[in-house]
Chain A
Amino acid sequence: MPLRQTTIQRAERSFILWMLAPATILMLSLTLVPFLVSVYLSFTDYSLTAPETINWVGLKNYSDLLSSADFWDAARITTIFTIVAVGIETVLGVGIAALLHHEVRQAPWLRVIYLLPMAITPIAATFTFRLMFNPTQGVLNHLLGLAGVSPSAWTAAPETALLSLILVDVWQWTPFILLIVMGGMAALPPEPEEASQMDGAGPFRTFFLVTLPRLKPYLALALLFRLIDAFKTFDIIFVLTGGGPGVATRTLNLLAYKYGIEFLSMGYASALAIVMLVFTLVAGQVFLRRLGLFDLKD
């Protein structure tokens, strides 16, 4: 039989509960409740055009969704956007981190400069890009013209719209990868790199065989954050293309916005949001497991 709790222990316990209560209640009401509501809605035909009727429709929203061409098209665009953007960000972030690592002691302000894109208000940056992308007045086409390259339609043409969005995402989020990878490089002991040099390896071999594998836990973490975030990117797409031209840049999140906010079919949009959430959770888990994270300590 467990020891009887003393009065002091009980008082302490209730004190802890009281202190935790506000944050817990806030958390639950702001995340769990909306989540449960949207799970419920996803099984109904609830629409803001007829808010007084809610009918249980079972899995109909899900089956409609998974058999719609719009959904699969958006899924394809989302996948391309996520993988290409995060891929470029990773290569650039790791590359710049590797180059900066040895220099930063001489020029610490370089690090600040590289982090600026992350610090700028996203909406301000995005509107600036909208001006820069403008096919006739934009600075990008002006610069291309100076270099003798024919102007691009940027976000105005279906062929280049997605690429333009990727460009903005890369500009904004490469620093994130850079930051985490540089943190990793600073945290790892330098001796294995030195050992590699002594062992006769050149800088490339040292980087790919010794540095990069040891950065795996940091890189995986950065990638996980970035993949999840890129997968549900909304702001830059909404401001720059609104999903267009046509449906060229309509990602899943834009599609959910369209169904929910424009067409007011909350049930259907909720189902789409739940699908995205489940996909993110499953993919994240698989990603973490496959990489066997956090067991590289020596």
Chain B
Amino acid sequence: MTEITLQSVTKSWGTLTALKPIDLHIPHGEFLVLLGPSGCGKTTTMRIIAGLETASSGAVLKDGADITNRLPRERNMAMVFQNYALYPHMKVLDNVAYPLRARGMARADREKTALAALEKVGLAPYADRLPKNLSGGQRQRVALARALVRSPDVFLMDEPLSNLDAKLRGAMRAEIKHIQRETGITTIYVTHDQIEAMTLADRVIIMEAGEIRQIGTPDQIYDDPDNLFVAGFLGSPPMNFIPGDIQDGAFRSGNARIAAAGITDAKEAQLGIRAEDITVVAEGEAGDLAVTVYSVEPTGDATLVVADHGKGRLVLKADKHFRPKIGATVNLRLSPNGIRYFDSASGARLRTSQ
């Protein structure tokens, strides 16, 4: 049983603030993903948990015990690095056996255990090779085996898949999730890739500029974003935003009037809606919004239509057979369940007041 707690952890280098106070609790066995653009502090957060960086202030607790000033080797956490960080001069087997060697296990024992870990990732036949003679995917598997070999309390993974090609990434993703479920080890996973975050995580933390923007399950952060940043960061294509204002329970943008019942008035607001919540209405019927088709992108299972709505562009997901002409005017219906309102200035979500 291992749980991790961060209490007001900050990090700064001189005048540069990398982390504003971060508070976080990770229960036992959770697969937590830290998601955000580069420079948002997600890797710094993980490295503070690992002990590779020390927090400027605040505390890191592991199972209630303060480990803020403990060395990495005293924390019993295993880390998988983006560039694998294998020991280039050691054979694959010695790489995997290294954590056991550091713990003083006898050679025969540790080689047996390491071989078992290599078998788990399907690399036993490569035990005698040097890392440089393996492919990227194989090296990452070796790094996984090295992390697995000693049953750590926590797995830390720093963008482990971003050096792999797209196809391999999908396969490794499944493998990592499977291994985590099988072992039940608390896992913290850093990525800038939202698909990885959505598919792997029990909970996702979205960070920006050294701050947590939202914590929630993948569904929560996708369906119920707390702010413009989260809404615009997740989803492919990301959420569409239409600028306007809110007055007397209605959102107004140009000629469009869209119900915003229970939302307080706002001079500058954004209507957020995802591509799949927009439908094209049949010709002659009235819609919520009239747009001009800018570009049509068939993706196979659907057609993405990029269209101008007067104050910007939006993307909608239409039937795969839908092929409007460029420049044509199309009437759209915005599914009321898919509409989210945000305050333009603060970026905060405008929720229905109960």
Residues of A within 8 A of B (CB): 189, 191-192, 194-202, 205, 209-210, 213-214, 216, 296-298
Contacts and interface: CB of A to CB of B under 8 A. Distances in A.
A298 B132 contact: yes
B89 interface: yes
Contact of A194 (B79, B88, B99, B150): B79
B103 A200 contact: yes
B81 A298 contact: no
B78 A296 contact: no
Q: Which 7 A-B pairs have the closest CB atoms?
A: A298-B88, A191-B85, A199-B99, A201-B102, A200-B102, A195-B85, A197-B72
Given A189-B83, A210-B87, A200 B52 contact: no
Contact of A198 (B79, B83, B86, B87): B79
Contacts of A189: 83, 85
Nearest to B81: A191
A298 B51 CA distance: 26
24 contacts: A191-B81, A191-B83, A192-B85, A194-B52, A194-B72, A194-B85, A195-B85, A195-B86, A196-B87, A196-B102, A197-B72, A198-B79, A198-B156, A199-B99, A199-B146, A200-B103, A200-B150, A201-B101, A202-B73, A214-B87, A297-B88, A297-B132, A298-B88, A298-B132
A199 B98 contact: yes
A216 B88 CA distance: 12
A198 B74 CA distance: 9
Contact of A296 (B83, B86, B88, B156): B88
A195 B147 CA distance: 10
A198 B89 contact: no
A192 B87 contact: yes
A260 B52 CA distance: 61
B66 to A, nearest CB: 19
Contacts of A194: 52, 72, 79, 81, 85
A199 B88 CA distance: 15
B77 interface: yes
B174 interface: no
B88 A197 contact: no
B50 interface: yes
B281 interface: no
A200 B76 CA distance: 7
Contacts of B51: 197
Interface string B31-67: 0000000000000000000111000000000000000
A198 B158 CA distance: 13
A195 B79 contact: yes
Contacts of B52: 194, 197-198
A296 B130 CA distance: 10
Given A298-B86, A298-B88, A298-B132, A198 B98 contact: no
Contacts of A195: 79, 81, 85-87, 146
Contacts of A210: 87
B131 interface: yes
Given A192-B86, A201-B98, A213-B89, A298 B72 contact: no
A296 B88 CA distance: 7
B1 interface: no
A42 B331 CA distance: 99
Residue picked from A189, A201, A205, A216, most chain B C-beta under 10 Å = A201
B168 interface: no
Residue picked from A192, A214, A296, most chain B C-beta under 10 Å = A192
B256 interface: no
Nearest to B98: A199
Interface string B226-264: 000000000000000000000000000000000000000
A106 to B, nearest CB: 12
Contact of A205 (B84, B89, B102, B132): B102
A274 B51 CA distance: 58
Contacts of B72: 194, 197-198
A71 B77 CA distance: 61
B195 interface: no
Nearest to B74: A200
Contacts of B86: 192, 195, 298
A146 to B, nearest CB: 41
Nearest to B104: A200
Given A198-B79, A201-B73, A298-B131, A214 B88 contact: yes
